Each structure stands twice: as structure tokens, then as C-alpha cells.
Structure 1
Amino acid sequence: MAVFGCKAKKQLVVRKADSAVVNKPTVNPALAKITAIKSKQVLFNTFSGRAKTKLTFDGKSNDVTLNIRIQHGKKIWVSITALLGIEVARALITPDSIQVINRIQGVYIKKPFSYVYTYANREVNYLTVESLLVGNAITELLNENSKVETAASGNTTISGSLQNLVYNLLIGADFKVTRTSFANAAARQSLQVTNGQFIQADGRIIPSQISINSVVQNKSIQAELEYNRTEFNQVLEYPFSIPARFEPAN
């Protein structure tokens, strides 16, 4: 019988959308942007870099080479060499101290970290210095109270105030920091850092050019760094000792 010789056609099932209302979590665009910037921060255990540098203290400039070594969260070691690779000074910075030996004058400085405030804002801490040397955003400035504005170009401006500090960050479309500036007008303190010519180093994106300009009342320091060698997570040494013949600096 024909009726039994034909297979019944399968009926297509029409899938209807669920009529139930699903409440999607509200996304705060500003916080989402800050989270994205944090995700692009350079993470490391150790960092070493060599940078040709124009170093200016209170208007007096010198062309030097900075050899920088960082053990994250613990110490920053810097050797300053002049012509022919002769070391003229060495520094060791920790979260609670700063030591400097000046081989030209035969003197040394051994001070608490607060000595940095001679040339920098009081809001600067040890991790701030680390961040600036590898092109990271300063963590304290990436907070939920910041004003976040994104331009059509993709650049983002983050601004706000923290205690007596007014800050402004310019972030590129790639979420890397292009410029950091903050100031305390009442204390006549300001710091501006500009990053440029980003490079890839051991799988990380960092600026090869860093310009630092710090002013505290009538004192100022400028450093124009150009990295020509960078490495991450290598085993490093941080030799530092004060020669017995050296005297404390005045």
C-alpha cells in the first residue's frame, strides 16, 4: 500500500525566543576602561635596561648612561657612567631608603626614602618610581573616582584629584600610557612624564623613550632616557657598598 511505502516527513520545529526578560549586568564604561588599562600593565620580577640619558639637575646638564636594574617591589639599582664608560655615581633605592655614592666627589648619601621629596612630589612612592621606569600607569591614579574620557582617536584621558594632588593621564588606543602629569599647586610641586617610541621586549610593550620633568619649589630634575637594551626576568646582581674613605655629603 502506497500509504505505508512512504516515509513521513519530519516536521521542522520553530525555535521561539524566550519571552522571559533577562536582566544583563550593567557595565560601567569608565571602570571597564580602567580595568583594560590595568590588564596592559607590564608585569615582571626583574628588569634591566641601559639608557642613554640627558640628566639635568637645577639647570646643569650632563650626558650619561644609566644602567638600571629592578627587583620588583624590593630595590632599584642604578649605575651612572660618563664618557669611556667610567662610573661616576651609583644609587640603591628601596621602599624605605635611598643611598647614593658620588665617585667624583668622594661623598655619599644615606637617607630614608623621603629624601626623594627634595626633587619629587610627596605623593611619589617607591612603586611610583618603578612604574615610571617601565612605562606603567601609576596604580593609585587608576581609581573609580577618576573622570574617564575617550576621544574619537581612541585616546583616553583619566583625570581627577587625590588628596592635594591633581592628576591627568593620557592613554593611547593600545591602553599604554603616553603621558602622566600631576601637580600640587599649593606646595609648588609638579611631575610630568612622557613616553614614546614603544618597543617589544621579551613579550612586553614598553616605551624606549621616557622624558621625566619634576619640580619642587626652586629645585628641578629632568631626565631624557632612551633605552637601547632591555631585559626582563633575568638573574641580576645589585652590588652596592660605600667605600670607607668616602664622607657624608653636606
Structure 2
Amino acid sequence: MKNWAILLIITLTILSCKSRKALNQTSSENDSIQVEKSDDKNDPKNAKNIQDRLTFYEKILLHPKFEHVKINSKITASDLRVSPLDATIYIENDKKTWANISFWGINAARAIITPEGIKAIDKYNKNYIDSDFDYLNNFLNVNFIDYKTLEKLLMGRTFMHITNSNSNIVKNNEGYQLTSITNQKIVTDDVVREYKVEMQYTDDFNLNWVKLQDVKSNDAIEIVYENWETFPNEIKLPKNVKIIIKGSKSSQILLENTKFDFSRMETPYSVPANYKKIDIK
């Protein structure tokens, strides 16, 4: 069960029950992470500071609204013997994320994630989990995953809280690079973690990659988005998403999104009476 549960949960969170609070965070539609101000500005040699920061912020933070999206994916993971797996992922904006995973045409696992928590069933082993997000954050070696972050990561959207004073933005050969000016501090359950954050955007403001490095350890996570596709109403989605976990734990997960559908669908989830609940530690 554990491998299936890990794959389901990590797939849906491309690397919520409890809220995560950043130090000095302000209220915003795009709030998730706050970066503090500093005077340290080290630009790459082939880059230059951009002048029109307002347009940049609008392009990376303000996105067309969507109600729901269905994504058909193929999943490859470095720590799974059976791959690729077929997955159907359905996101209902601000409400839930549902997934069904199968291999060789056989339904193997199902999960549903809401702001209240995560649930998953393993049909092969007849087990299920019902948990909060602490396990997920521990597995990814981070402490900032909540439900809104989940949606933003799946959709390839910026999950940092950005203001004119908390980030350094330069134009380089790849597009636009955003770097946190000082280490990003995030507090959860009285535990403080600090990250160095880098984000690269293409010339047309699609998120290319995100890197978060724990400054007190070798733990890091990188998310790469490729092959963006534009849909009606100017909604953009990445066809390829890769999660790379480094440090005390290492893993790679690749999602190849083969089809997008914006129609509503049913999201059945129930636990049979003979399934056994397990605790993930």
C-alpha cells in the first residue's frame, strides 16, 4: 500500500488539512509563501534587471479562472517497479483533487484530496489511508504544502507570495529569472525552515522550473514544467511535469499529461467495509 499511497499523494502535490503560515505573510489571492527583503542582489552575468515589474507580476500571478479540469497522464517514478502507470487527475478549483491510477487496464488505486485532508485506497492490497498533510511534507522534505499549493503546483502556477520588495527579477537568455532576495522562512508547528528559492519563466511568462534549497541541509526539491499548451479562455497547462527530490531522500517522478478536458466529471470515492486502515509514518 505504501508505494501506491506515496505515488498518489506526491503525484497530486507536484513535488490540505493544516494551514501553513509564512513569517510576515500578507493576505492575497496568490498567497502561499512570503519572501523577506534584503540588500543582497547578485544578478547573473548574462542578465539584467527588468524595468516593468508590474507587467511581470500580472503575467505570472493573474490567470484565467477555471472551474474544473480533467487530466489524463502517464506516470513514471524512479522508486516503482511497475511503470509507466496510467492516471486520471481531476481538479475542481478550490474544492478537491481526485485521482485514479491503473496499470495494464486494471484499477489499482484511488485518492481524493480536499482542504480537510487526504484519502487513498489500494484496491490490490485492500488497504486505505485517511491522513493530514504532515506526512506529505515530511516525505518531500518541505513544510509548505497545503491545498492551494497543491493546485498551483499541478497547474504550473507561481506558489510564492511576491511583492516588489521581496524578490529579484532579471531578464536572461531563457526568459525571466526570479530569486528570493533573502532566505525564505516558513513556520509550521513552531518549526522554522529556511529556503533559497529560484524560479525561471519563459519569454511568454510560463513557469519553466522551480528550485527550493533548504539552507541548513542538502535537502532540495525541483519542479520542471515543459511543453505548455494554450486552451480556450487563454488557460495554459504544462504537458510534462517532473519532480526531483534531493538530499536525505531522493526520488524522481515524471508526469506526461496526454489529454486535457474541461468538462465536469464524477469523482467516486468510498472505502469497502473489508479494507484495513493503515498509518503512514
Q: TM-score range by the shorter chain?
A: 0.7 to 0.9
Whole-Å separation in 2 of the counterparts to 1:76 and 1:61: 24
Contact 1:94 1:113 in 2 (8 A): no
Please state how far the C-alpha of 1:119 moved relative to its aligned partner.
2.1
Instruction: Pick from 90, 102, 111 the counterpart of residue 131 of structure 2.
Output: 111
TM-score (norm 2): 0.70
Q: Which moved more, 1:101-110 or 1:179-188?
A: 179-188
- Name the aligned partner's letter for residue 253 of structure 2: A
SS in structure 2 of the partner of residue 76 of structure 1? strand
Greater RCO (Cα-Cα under 8 Å, separation 6 or more): 2
Please state how far the C-alpha of 1:30 moved relative to its aligned partner.
3.1
- Name the aligned partner's letter for residue 76 of structure 1: T
SS in structure 2 of the partner of residue 211 of structure 1? strand
2:115 paired residue number? 95
- Name the aligned partner's letter for residue 75 of structure 2: T
- Name the aligned partner's letter for residue 38 of structure 1: L
1:127 paired residue number? 148
Whole-Å separation in 1 of the counterparts to 2:126 and 2:252: 24
1:198 paired residue number? 228
2:207 paired residue number? 177
2:278 paired residue number? 249
Greater fraction strand: 1
Contact 2:69 2:264 in 1 (8 A): no
Instruction: Pick from 34, 39, 60 the counterpart of residue 37 of structure 1.
Output: 60
Q: Percent identity?
A: 21
Please state how far the C-alpha of 1:216 moved relative to its aligned partner.
6.8
Instruction: Pick from 259, 264, 272 the counterpart of residue 229 of structure 1.
Output: 259
Whole-Å separation in 1 of the counterparts to 2:202 and 2:245: 23
Runs of 4+ in 1 over 4 A off after TM superposition: none
SS in structure 1 of the partner of residue 153 of structure 2? helix
2:176 paired residue number? 156
2:16 paired residue number? none
Whole-Å separation in 1 of the counterparts to 2:113 and 2:152: 14
SS in structure 1 of the partner of residue 84 of structure 2? strand
Whole-Å separation in 2 of the counterparts to 1:80 and 1:179: 26
**Superimposed CA distance per residue, residues 220-249 of structure 1 (whole angstroms, 9 cap, x where no aligned partner):** 4432111111022x2222211111111122
Alignment: residue pair count? 217
Whole-Å separation in 1 of the counterparts to 2:57 and 2:133: 29
